[in-house]
Amino acid sequence: MNYAELLKRMPSELRRSLETELYRPWLSRGVSLADVCTDPVVMETILGRMNETERMVLRTLVLYIGSEPFDEARLEKAASPVLSGAEMRHGLSGLMRKGIVFAFRKTWGEYLYLLPADGFRTWRELVLPAVHSSAPERSGDDVMPEVTRSARLGLRLELFQALVFAARHGLKLSKGGTVHKKQLQKLAEQISLDEALLQGASLKYAYADAYSLPVAVALDFLLRLQLLTSNGDELELQPGAIEEWLSMPPEAQTKRLYAQWKQLTWPAQAWMQHAVCMAERLASGGQWFQADTLIAWLAELGILERHETEEDPRRLLQERWLQPLVAFGWIEEGRSLTADEAWFRWVEQPVPAAAEEADASEDGALMIQPDFEIFAPPDVPGKVLWELCCLADTVRLDQISVFKLTKNSVRRALDNGRTAEAIAAFLEERALYGVPEHVRLAVEQWAAPYGKTRFLQACLLRCADEATAQSLERIPGAVSYLREKLGGTHYLIAPDDVKPLAAALEKAGWLPGLLPDTGGNGPAAQAITYPKLDVLGENSLQERREPTGDKGFIYSRTSVAYYEMEARIPSAADLYPDYADIPASWLKDYRAYHASTRKEMVEQAIRMKTVLQIRKNGCDYRIAPHKLQDTRGSWCMTGIVRTAESADPAAEMRLMPEEWQEMKLILPGINDKYLY
């Protein structure tokens, strides 16, 4: 989950505290809270205001957990032995207070925590050392890799083709909630996503017994973008959302699709999250790289050392992340002649560039050929391609798409509400070199006979006799529904008017016999209508909608979306339930205590997972005890020690009570401001 999604769910109390306290100076300049929380300059300022414990917890999160839900036990294990449990909790609450980490309350009262995905991307750049992002140099004898796998269409065109199919044929649902089998088979023929490349993502989804993986992925994208919605009987096209989507430039579409894919399949392992971020840094250069290169960078940072896995990291990275991107056409896979290992190269930039300028280029135009074929270059707007798919047959969708005008295709456009005049205007408006005269005449001739005869869907109202029919015409609430009289006793009724007419007749004292329900809006279901979009720029989109991203049926791995966000941030005292029972002198006085008191303080520190400050031979130490043992009539404690001169963890130390002179119990956030 990212900040924009979390802010929609954030309790007003928590949001108000962030907006009125910590981030007020930046918000007063008109910047949104989501943008502030992912602004590297702002976050660098916040980093400078953190105490040392908060910085160490943040670094632990970034290095070893990433943007994956975690509980306190997991964070404590990742932070050990550098931080004690109490220090970890104190640092975590500080990060929550700064809006960097968020808490979610599970149904049984326990908590899960989350560093947002876009926050992870920002913080890893601030807390990790700079890592070079260039591809490895190849030897002089090596050659550039040769492309071995790339997508035929790319995800944008795959989804476009699925939408066109839905507009032409509809997507009716069975009682089980899936697309009818015959339609599903035809839809699957329209989707050419490589199933083998998608397998590594290990997606789980509803209706897995009915939908193939490529179909499930395509439909899930369309549902999450709200280009399709389910009404229980069918997957309905949403013309407003489709128009908005097709109005976006291809680059913007790719960025939204990639963001949606990341949200759904973001890796659980922190090391792979780092690898993904590193791979994204290579998107703008168009350079070849290997999974081994990314793994080497992780090893250089020491990230892999704490992530034990029996599987090969290189293979996992390729199968779970890089190869699905190949299936979507965002990355190409290649092989060199001197080595059999896979290389990868971005062919589309899926993440926003550092300085991104608006595309001010003009829309591309169609090239209408004398043989009735129409060529559409890649810069032709999506809305134009949409309309072209209505009035022409698709020969090929590609970088240069090819369509062909036929008598049947013109008939299809007319059946879907287009007129001969509208078709001619569209072709003339969008043709780069005009419409060949014989093509224009042919379209006019094909369209001319249309509508001179027409089949209409209607119901027949039959009266028992002419007297009944005449009485019917005198009922004020009924006469407006009588379309046409046939003979002396029959009337044509529009299917949609059957129920209101029946209600009017019953109100007047009649009891009409009704036709049995046919499952549609009349005697037969209505025909599929191919939505008409604003392709001539007659209207402007008034409002940009932001898809919610939660309407699909592929299961997300992240569970926090189902939990309630916690509004209250624990205070320092809340972190220590036994705080009231601790003698005040243990926290205030730095002095020598009796051996029995020393033992009590050690036991208390172990219970609270906190630290002791001790003075030994004139030097101050911070020790986090984790074991106390009785030995030879005395006792000893074992713990992890740090000196005042170094914040780095020292080796485990074992001390007898007489081996230090003075001591003090430290509760982080309570009495650790001046630790040394």
Apex 456 CA angle, 453 and 460, nearest 5: 130
Contact assessment for residue 433 and residue 368, using Cβ atoms and an 8 Å cutoff: yes
Contact assessment for residue 366 and residue 380, using Cβ atoms and an 8 Å cutoff: yes
Report the candidate in 626, 426, 459, 405 with the shortest Cα–Cα distance to residue 533: 426
Dihedral-angle region of residue 360 (phi above 0 means left; psi in -120 to 50 means alpha; beta otherwise): alpha
**pLDDT score recorded for residue 524:** 38
Strands of the sheet containing 484-486, edge to edge, are: 459-462, 490-493, 484-486
**pLDDT score recorded for residue 225:** 94
Report the alpha-carbon distance of residue 128 to residue 148 in Å, rounded: 35
> What is the per-residue DSSP string for 166-226?
HHHH--BB-TTSSB-HHHHHHHHHH----HHHHGGG---BTTTTTS-HHHHHHHHHHHHTT
Contact assessment for residue 640 and residue 652, using Cβ atoms and an 8 Å cutoff: yes
Report the candidate in 202, 189, 147 with the shortest Cα–Cα distance to residue 326: 147
Report the alpha-carbon distance of residue 228 to residue 26 in Å, rounded: 39
Identify the H or E element spanning 229: strand 228-230
**pLDDT score recorded for residue 518:** 40
The amino acid at residue 549 is G
Q: Tell me how many helices (H) and strands (E) the chain has.
A: 28, 20
Report the alpha-carbon distance of residue 536 to residue 354 in Å, rounded: 34
> What is the per-residue DSSP string for 580-637?
GGS-HHHHH--B---HHHHHHHHHHHHHHT-EEEEEETTEEEEEEEEEEEEETTEEEE
The structural domains of the chain, ordered by start, are 3-127 (1.10.10.10), 147-255 (no CATH), 268-346 (1.10.10), 367-447 (no CATH), 459-507 (no CATH), 574-666 (2.30.30)
Instruction: Render the burial of 483-515: b for 16+ CB within 10 Å, e for the rest.
Output: eeeeeebebebebebbeebbebbeeeeeebeee
Report the candidate in 91, 208, 98, 227 with the shortest Cα–Cα distance to residue 156: 227
Question: What φ, ψ does residue 532 adopt, rounded to 5°?
Answer: -100, 125
The dihedral through the CA atoms of 22, 351, 194, 318 has a sign that is negative
Instruction: Render the burial of 417-432: b for 16+ CB within 10 Å, e for the rest.
Output: ebebebbeebbeebbe
Report the candidate in 632, 659, 525, 480 with the shortest Cα–Cα distance to residue 641: 659
**pLDDT score recorded for residue 499:** 86
**pLDDT score recorded for residue 340:** 76
Binned average pLDDT, 10 residues per bin, the chain of 676 residues: 85 87 88 90 93 93 92 91 91 93 87 93 85 45 78 93 94 92 94 95 92 96 94 91 93 93 90 92 86 88 69 91 96 84 90 53 87 94 94 92 94 90 93 93 90 75 88 87 87 87 84 54 50 64 50 78 84 86 89 91 94 90 92 89 61 89 92 62
**pLDDT score recorded for residue 360:** 52
Report the alpha-carbon distance of residue 524 to residue 501 in Å, rounded: 18
- CB atoms under 10 Å from CB of 80, counted, come to 17
As given in the structure block, the two tokens for residue 358 are: 């608006």
Contact assessment for residue 134 and residue 297, using Cβ atoms and an 8 Å cutoff: no
Q: What separation in angstroms does the CA of 280 have from each of 37, 352, 400?
A: 20, 10, 28
pTM, two decimals, is 0.83
As given in the structure block, the two tokens for residue 44 are: 């660098």
Q: What separation in angstroms does the CA of 320 have from each of 269, 415, 618?
A: 11, 45, 55
Report the alpha-carbon distance of residue 317 to residue 311 in Å, rounded: 10
**pLDDT score recorded for residue 141:** 43
Strands of the sheet containing 393-396, edge to edge, are: 367-368, 373-376, 401-404, 393-396
Q: How many CA atoms lie within 13 A of 597 on its CB side?
A: 12
The amino acid at residue 300 is E
**pLDDT score recorded for residue 429:** 92
Identify the H or E element spanning 443: helix 437-447
**pLDDT score recorded for residue 132:** 47
